[in-house]
Amino acid sequence: MLKGFKEFMLRGNVLDLAVAVVMGAAFGAVVTAMVKDLLNPLIAAIAGKPDFSAISVTVNGSKLLIGSFLNDLIAFLLIGAAVYFFVVLPVNHLTARMRRGEAAPDPTTKKCPECLSDVPIAARRCAFCTSQLADSASR
């Protein structure tokens, strides 16, 4: 029983997930600090004080904290923008640059000349219209 648990815990995907959770938490703290310490003061310098926590509405004795919700919504949007512009775009650019010299993979399908369906390269008949396909070697 414990042997199976040990194998499960030492399996690669469990360890990868644990590392991803720890790195995600650390990265979340960095992005939150960047938004709180850099982007919010920048917005405050441009548009005035960006704190809406004092805005509230009372309905039938219940206080709706609209300003707090707006603060959290703005923080969410700023964190999303920071992640996109400072992580996603540079990583996509780097990945595209690394793959620039790679050749395209060989195709695995071809078009049927009769019904234009995708069929495997090695097929001799179309699975959809049963028409005879040209031999792959003659192309």
Q: Are residues 41 and 93 in the same domain?
A: yes
Distance CA 2, CA 9 (A): 10
Does residue 59 surpass a pLDDT of 90?
yes
Which is nearest to 34 in space by CA: 71, 92, 81? 81
pLDDT range class, residue 12, cuts 50, 70, 90: low
Return the structure tokens found at 63: 């206080």
**Mean pLDDT of all residues in 80-88:** 83
Q: Are residues 12 and 80 in the same domain?
A: yes
Does residue 136 surpass a pLDDT of 60?
no
Which residue is it, tokens 């964190």? 79
Q: Are residues 81 and 114 in the same domain?
A: no
CB-based contact 133:126 (threshold 8 Å): yes
Give residue 30's domain range: 2-98
Q: Are residues 76 and 13 in the same domain?
A: yes
Q: Picking from 46-50, 105-109, 112-116, which range would have the lowest pLDDT averaged per residue?
A: 46-50
Q: Are residues 52 and 117 in the same domain?
A: no
H or E element: which one contains 120? Answer: strand 118-120
CATH number of the domain residue 67 falls in:
1.10.1200.120
